[in-house]
Structure 1
Amino acid sequence: MNKSFFYSSAIAAALLASSAVSARDTIEIVGSSTVYPFATVVAERYGRSSGGATPKIEATGSGGGLKLFCSGVGASYPDITNSSRRIKASEFALCQSNGVNDIIEVQIGFDGIVIANANASGAAPLNLSRRELFLALAKQVPGSDGELVDNPYTRWSQINSNLPDSAIEVLGPPPTSGTRDAFAELALEGGCKTFETISALKKSDKQAYKTVCHTVREDGAYIEAGENDNLIVQKLEANPSALGIFGFSFLDQNADKVQGSLIEGVAPTFDSIADKSYPVSRPLYFYVKKAHIGVVPGLQGYLAEFTSEKAWGPEGYLAEKGMIPLPTAERRALAAVVATLTPMSGQEPLK
């Protein structure tokens, strides 16, 4: 077949995709439950100011959102996916294989991962180390001889006598959640690599090292509470001895109900996350299909609203909701990426 045939076929496919997308007049967004409240307030403000349809947003988790986003182009697939971690190389490849070729990546700010308990417990906030979190929640931990064993710890006081003599019971997100991914990387692995025998494993068998450091125990000490972080807050109120894992914005919005644990002596606050002194913080993103821009009504306007200083700036309404803004230079650079609709490169170092 000649080149003109392939060229004509490509145009036909593009027109078909555009026609399919134009069958929908409402922006559809999926993804991270952590980014959900930020995206929702932007959507509501944009809907009011534009007079158009308010974008539809669904909290599917970062992994679930990227899977939906990367499944194809057209009205059946979302326009944007929110994520509390960066897209993985395997997800980027899935997008490419399904014709989702031009993806615009926007880092919107930072968030801290909080380990919290109910204010009703009456106790002062816990002061936990990443090493203690690893020992409490990993599937396997070093035994007395340094060899890996199934996690034997059932009470916090067994890990550190200064911690409460209460059962280890932690409510957290499922594997599809970006919060779970980030917690595993920042908190569990942060504690895991303090053990010399495990740290040495990283050089000899990187996959085995990651499995040990990132695998959460399945014996009931860690309880998957779904993608709804508000539900975790409610369950903590019902069980004051339990801990919960969720984003800082949910702590900020529920300060009358829950309190955040210190991590290595640093409390989770707006300032400690912004200056990166809080050890368990991560960037937040959204991803956009360039093929849908100019076809789905309002998509470019929504992006402009999200990346405006009144939204994501230091004095913006997203900061009031608990999102930690990016430095000024980074915000300006990313606003330019959105304004010029510049897609990310497949050669960029993806995890």
Structure 2
Amino acid sequence: MSFTKFSVSALALLAVSATAAAARDEIRIVGSSTVFPYTQAVAEQFANITGAPSPIVESTGTGGGMKIFCGGIGEQHPDITGASRAMKASEYELCQSNGVTEVSEALIGFDGLSMAISRANEFAWDLTLAEIYLALGAQVPVDGEWADNPYTTWDQINPDLPAVEILAYGPPPTSGTRDAWVELAMHGGCEELPFVHAGGFDGDWVKENCSRMRTDGPFVEAGENDNLIVQRLEADPNAMGIFGYSFLFENLDKLKGVLIEGVEPNTDTIASKSYPVSRPLFFYVKNAHRGVIPNLNAFIEEYMSDDALEAGGYLSERGLVALADDRRVELQDAVLNGDAMTAPE
């Protein structure tokens, strides 16, 4: 595998940016808080193996990372961004308008969007998507009308649930985790409501009316640092947190996963897609920086290595659900050869 497959436009951009970009020694990476621990693990492994400066990895959120990444080429702009969803068409257009015309997309594996609670909470939590929506959606059915959410305790939604206040800490709107949670959990739960079935409402109605999280207290935006959510769950045994499975995996001594539709979040259920809230994880490489930013090519090689990505590799040990072997090989060839992504639909 090699780094020789570049288009004429990428080579032109590389030549223009070479003088400026070469002034920076460290690789710079931004993006998703969910992808952050995987990229950080690769950065540590890379530095240990090569002795090169460890890449600077910042947790900016997927949306924030895309904005920074697509700002342009040259040393003042990052080389890679992590994402807990695919790049949007609007973000691709932003990249193109700022001269970032050659980008490689890497789907590195899969992750589950976990709801977690302290192990000090002894209740066996098992929620349906509809119950999750009724707890956290800004508007819900009330006496046959679509109205502001009145529920304050879990037993008001289902008498079999504890009579404790609804409190969930989760990601802000700039986070890819938030985007994926809304699409997979909130829309999925809304679609399960009898009100929606009986009303004959379609997907467009659901997207317009079921995308907003509550702002009256039971849902709290906790920023891009998922470790802060873990700390808050330790402090309040009745509070729940929403984050990528990797953070639950790394804190299983303190937290336990909330079952969704009877299914526990773990690597097996996420890989089999039996766990209903799972999503792919990505990173994006600015091809104009390859061969310009010192050690960037070698870092990409480490990220694409079997040691990192295969089942049983060091990223799977941190909670990443690995791609099937054939998909992994296809990914490695495309990214190492610098294949540029096409415009998202």
TM class, shorter-length: over 0.9
- Once the two structures are superposed, residues 277-305 of structure 1 have per-residue CA deviations (whole angstroms, 9 ceiling, x without a partner) of 00011100000100000100111111111
Q: Residue in 1 aligned with 2:71? A: 71
Would you say the 8 A contact 1:125–1:259 is kept in 2? no
- Alignment identity in percent? 50
User: Residues 268, 11 of structure 1: CA spacing in aligned structure 2 closer, same or farther, 3 A cutoff?
Assistant: closer
Q: Residue in 1 aligned with 2:314? A: 317
For residues 283 and 228 of structure 2, the distance between their equivalents in structure 1, rounded to whole angstroms, comes to 24
Would you say the 8 A contact 1:309–1:316 is kept in 2? yes
For residues 258 and 125 of structure 1, the distance between their equivalents in structure 2, rounded to whole angstroms, comes to 13
Q: Residue in 1 aligned with 2:132? A: 133
- Once the two structures are superposed, residues 194-218 of structure 1 have per-residue CA deviations (whole angstroms, 9 ceiling, x without a partner) of 2365464336xx2x53132211011
For residues 158 and 182 of structure 1, the distance between their equivalents in structure 2, rounded to whole angstroms, comes to 27
Q: Residue in 1 aligned with 2:167? A: 169
Q: Residue in 2 aligned with 1:82? A: 82
For residues 273 and 125 of structure 1, the distance between their equivalents in structure 2, rounded to whole angstroms, comes to 20
Would you say the 8 A contact 2:35–2:82 is kept in 1? yes
* Structure 1 residue 14: Cα displacement: 5.4
Q: Residue in 1 aligned with 2:53? A: 53
User: Residues 25, 37 of structure 1: CA spacing in aligned structure 2 closer, same or farther, 3 A cutoff?
Assistant: same
For residues 13 and 105 of structure 1, the distance between their equivalents in structure 2, rounded to whole angstroms, comes to 18
How many correspondences in the alignment?
Answer: 335
- Once the two structures are superposed, residues 174-193 of structure 1 have per-residue CA deviations (whole angstroms, 9 ceiling, x without a partner) of 11111111111111111111
Equivalent in 324, 329, 342 of residue 326 of structure 2: 329
For residues 308 and 11 of structure 2, the distance between their equivalents in structure 1, rounded to whole angstroms, comes to 37
* Structure 1 residue 43: Cα displacement: 0.6
SS for the counterpart of 2:202 is helix
* Structure 1 residue 21: Cα displacement: 1.3
Would you say the 8 A contact 1:138–1:212 is kept in 2? no
1:230 has 2:227 as partner: yes
Q: Residue in 2 aligned with 1:216? A: 213
SS for the counterpart of 2:270 is helix
Q: Which amino acid aligns with 1:33?
A: S
Q: Which amino acid aligns with 1:176?
A: T
Give unpaired runs (5+ residues) of structure 1. 1-9
Q: Residue in 2 aligned with 1:183? A: 181
* Structure 1 residue 168: Cα displacement: 0.7
- What are the within-5 Å matches in structure 2 for residues 292-307 of structure 1? 292-307=289-304
Equivalent in 139, 153, 156 of residue 155 of structure 1: 153
Q: Residue in 1 aligned with 2:3? A: none
* Structure 1 residue 158: Cα displacement: 0.6
Q: Which amino acid aligns with 2:175?
A: S
Q: Which amino acid aligns with 2:248?
A: L
Q: Which amino acid aligns with 1:324?
A: V
For residues 137 and 276 of structure 1, the distance between their equivalents in structure 2, rounded to whole angstroms, comes to 24
Q: Which amino acid aligns with 2:189?
A: G
- What are the within-5 Å matches in structure 2 for residues 201-212 of structure 1? 201-202=201-202, 206=204, 208-212=205-209
For residues 195 and 235 of structure 2, the distance between their equivalents in structure 1, rounded to whole angstroms, comes to 40
Q: Residue in 1 aligned with 2:117? A: 117
SS for the counterpart of 1:191 is helix
Q: Which amino acid aligns with 1:302?
A: F
Q: Residue in 1 aligned with 2:19? A: 19
Q: Which has the higher contact order (CA 8 A, sep 6+)?
A: 2
- Once the two structures are superposed, residues 227-261 of structure 1 have per-residue CA deviations (whole angstroms, 9 ceiling, x without a partner) of 11111011011111111111111111111111100
TM-score (norm 1): 0.92
1:283 has 2:304 as partner: no
Q: Which amino acid aligns with 1:41?
A: A
1:91 has 2:88 as partner: no
For residues 242 and 11 of structure 1, the distance between their equivalents in structure 2, rounded to whole angstroms, comes to 52
- Once the two structures are superposed, residues 68-103 of structure 1 have per-residue CA deviations (whole angstroms, 9 ceiling, x without a partner) of 001111111100000111111111111111111011
Deviant stretches of 4+, over 6 Å: 10-13
Give unpaired runs (5+ residues) of structure 2. 1-9
For residues 334 and 219 of structure 1, the distance between their equivalents in structure 2, rounded to whole angstroms, comes to 43
Q: Residue in 2 aligned with 1:344? A: 341
SS for the counterpart of 1:303 is helix
For residues 303 and 224 of structure 1, the distance between their equivalents in structure 2, rounded to whole angstroms, comes to 33
Q: Residue in 2 aligned with 1:100? A: 100
